[in-house]
């Protein structure tokens, strides 16, 4: 078989956290193959959620939707999962057969989440090799199941509570190139139309936004407007598609805090590069991007996860002095009282931020995408 007649299917979706790492690997894969005068088609199998099509369309990636639903024990969620499982697997099998007829060899790279599981089941039936890329410190049910059927498992996180993970191949964080700063702080601020010399605070709840983070930072800016003004701080705020951007912009204006407010920032590289400090959720992608950009960050892990895996994602950084993990109390007033002093303290302390930057630099390069892409280019069978 001609090695050019190959195809890789990246299976995952539902959030940007399952899509962007796949895009990063596909990007590095194309670079490796180009150097070797080789080719491999990349196709994404994603969910039917509009966010998936929006992200992949913006990245000009080829994709197919899979009618999958998340697994859950709540009666309504469980019923939807059971009803859609068979159809999702059949759709996945049809996709794999179509690609195999055209390309011969088809590899499935599971990126985790509720789309990955039916695609892996489809791959098992169709005899396609599977590689799992685990991103979270606490793998979900889907990833634990997929790991038992994958020929190779990579993990970009220090896994907790899974005995078999000792045999998984550990790689650094997986970050797409567009999330890496394209230049120094002044260059990145110029790209975004910001004041080149003002210290900059980046606020992000990741691709879907985070209401509690939005409310916290706006309230902090209002209550500490004189502090923001005295330090000449400006804000980049990625608020999410469901946020009232006009209201957020008005709040910053009333507090006399210069702010660039967007539902979604693409690419993220200039935003990270412009930042002296960040406030962020602690999804695997956000932690990886903060690491890659070397930006001191106050992580506010998603508070509703029972296993608190976002906290575990950021814990290796905190243990090395490379970030701060703060508990999101959801209540805005309590967050201002407890997290506000942490943020203001870091805004005040250039030496504190520099120490965190040095700790981040000591973690090494965030080049996990290249390592996984090299393995995929070499074949996973």
Span 172-200, pLDDT tens digits: 999 999 999 999 999 999 999 999 999 99
How sure is the predictor about 241, in pLDDT bands with cuts at 50, 70 and 90? confident
Q: Are residues 168 and 184 in the same domain?
A: no
**Tokens (6 digits) for 198:** 């003002």
- Which pLDDT belongs to residue 73? 77
Residue 228 pLDDT exceeds 60 = yes
Cβ atoms of 116 and 44 within 8 Å: the answer is no
State the average pLDDT over residues 235-258: 95
Residue 220 CA to residue 250 CA, distance in Å, equals 14
Domain ranges, residue 259: 179-361
How sure is the predictor about 3, in pLDDT bands with cuts at 50, 70 and 90? very low
The values of phi and psi at residue 299, to 5°, are -90, 130
Cβ atoms of 248 and 257 within 8 Å: the answer is no
Residue 220, by phi and psi: left (phi above 0), alpha (psi -120 to 50) or beta?
Answer: alpha
- The CA-atom distances, in angstroms, between 173 and each of 24, 67, 133, 179, 262 are 11, 29, 11, 12, 26
Residue 306 pLDDT exceeds 50 = yes
How many C-beta neighbours within 10 Å does residue 89 have? 21
Residue 166 CA to residue 164 CA, distance in Å, equals 5
How many structural domains does the chain have? 2
Residue 287 CA to residue 234 CA, distance in Å, equals 22
Q: Are residues 204 and 292 in the same domain?
A: yes
State the average pLDDT over residues 151-160: 92
Whose tokens are 């895996």? That residue is 309
Contacts of 331 (CB under 8 A, 6+ apart): none
Residue 317 CA to residue 294 CA, distance in Å, equals 11
Contacts of 249 (CB under 8 A, 6+ apart): 259, 261
Question: Domain for residue 243, yes or no?
Answer: yes
Q: How far is CA 192 from the centre of its chain?
A: 21
- Which pLDDT belongs to residue 32? 94
pTM for the model = 0.88
Q: pLDDT tens for residues 264-284?
A: 998 999 999 999 999 999 998
Q: Are residues 109 and 185 in the same domain?
A: no
Q: Are residues 192 and 298 in the same domain?
A: yes
Question: Domain for residue 113, yes or no?
Answer: yes
Q: Are residues 29 and 61 in the same domain?
A: yes
Q: Are residues 191 and 164 in the same domain?
A: no
Q: Are residues 142 and 209 in the same domain?
A: no
- DSSP secondary structure string, 153-189? EEESS---S-GGGGGSEE------GGGS-SS-HHHHH
What is the H or E stretch that residue 108 is in? strand 105-110
Residue 380 pLDDT exceeds 50 = no
**Tokens (6 digits) for 373:** 């892409």
The values of phi and psi at residue 29, to 5°, are -60, -45
Q: Are residues 67 and 82 in the same domain?
A: yes
Q: Are residues 335 and 351 in the same domain?
A: yes
Question: Domain for residue 132, yes or no?
Answer: yes
Question: Domain for residue 203, yes or no?
Answer: yes
Question: Domain for residue 1, yes or no?
Answer: no
Q: pLDDT tens for residues 5-49?
A: 689 999 998 888 889 999 999 999 999 999 988 889 999 999 999
Q: Are residues 130 and 50 in the same domain?
A: yes
- The CA-atom distances, in angstroms, between 108 and each of 80, 149, 320, 367, 380 are 25, 12, 35, 21, 9
- Which pLDDT belongs to residue 162? 86
Residue 4 pLDDT exceeds 60 = no
Q: Are residues 26 and 54 in the same domain?
A: yes
Q: Are residues 229 and 286 in the same domain?
A: yes
The CATH number of the domain holding residue 57 is 3.40.50.2000
Alpha helices (H) in 50-171, listed in sequence order: 50-58, 75-103, 116-126, 141-149
Q: Which of 280, 326, 374 is nearest to 29 (CA)?
A: 374
Question: Domain for residue 228, yes or no?
Answer: yes
Question: Domain for residue 74, yes or no?
Answer: yes
Residue 151 pLDDT exceeds 60 = yes
Question: Domain for residue 340, yes or no?
Answer: yes
State the average pLDDT over residues 327-335: 96
**267 upstream amide cis, omega within 30 of 0:** yes
Mean pLDDT of the chain: 93
């Amino acid at each position: 078989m001609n090695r050019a007649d190959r195809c890789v299917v990246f299976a995952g979706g539902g959030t940007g956290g399952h899509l962007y790492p796949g895009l990063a690997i596909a990007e590095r894969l194309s670079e490796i193959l180009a150097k070797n005068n080789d080719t491999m088609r990349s196709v994404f199998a994603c969910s039917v959620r509009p966010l998936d099509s929006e992200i992949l369309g913006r990245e000009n990636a080829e994709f197919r939707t899979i009618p999958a639903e998340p697994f859950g024990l709540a009666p309504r969620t469980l019923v939807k999962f059971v009803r859609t499982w068979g159809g999702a697997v059949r759709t996945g099998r049809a996709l794999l057969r179509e690609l195999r007829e055209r390309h011969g060899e088809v590899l499935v790279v599971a990126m985790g989440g509720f789309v990955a599981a039916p695609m892996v089941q489809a791959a098992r039936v169709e005899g396609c090799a599977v590689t799992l890329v685990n991103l979270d410190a606490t793998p979900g049910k889907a990833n634990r199941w997929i790991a038992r059927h994958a020929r190779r498992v990579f993990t970009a996180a220090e896994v907790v509570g899974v005995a078999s993970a000792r045999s998984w191949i550990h790689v650094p964080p997986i970050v797409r190139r567009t999330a890496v700063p394209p230049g120094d702080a002044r260059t990145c601020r110029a790209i975004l139309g910001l004041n080149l010399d003002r210290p900059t605070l980046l606020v992000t709840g990741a691709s879907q936004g985070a209401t509690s983070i939005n409310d916290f930072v706006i309230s902090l800016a209002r209550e500490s407007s004189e502090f923001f003004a005295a330090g000449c701080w400006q804000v980049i705020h990625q608020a999410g598609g469901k946020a009232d951007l006009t209201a957020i912009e008005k709040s910053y204006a009333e507090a006399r805090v210069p702010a660039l407010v967007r539902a979604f920032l693409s690419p993220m590289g200039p935003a990270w590069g412009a930042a002296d400090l960040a406030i962020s959720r602690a999804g695997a992608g956000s932690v990886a991007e903060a690491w890659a950009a070397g930006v001191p960050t106050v992580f506010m892990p998603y508070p509703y996860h029972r296993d608190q895996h976002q906290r575990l994602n950021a814990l290796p950084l905190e243990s090395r002095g490379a970030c701060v993990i703060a508990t999101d109390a959801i209540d805005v007033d309590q967050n201002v009282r407890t997290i506000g002093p942490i943020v203001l303290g870091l805004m005040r302390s250039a030496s504190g931020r520099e120490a965190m930057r040095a700790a981040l630099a000591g973690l090494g390069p965030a080049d996990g995408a290249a390592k996984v892409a090299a393995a995929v280019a070499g074949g996973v069978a």
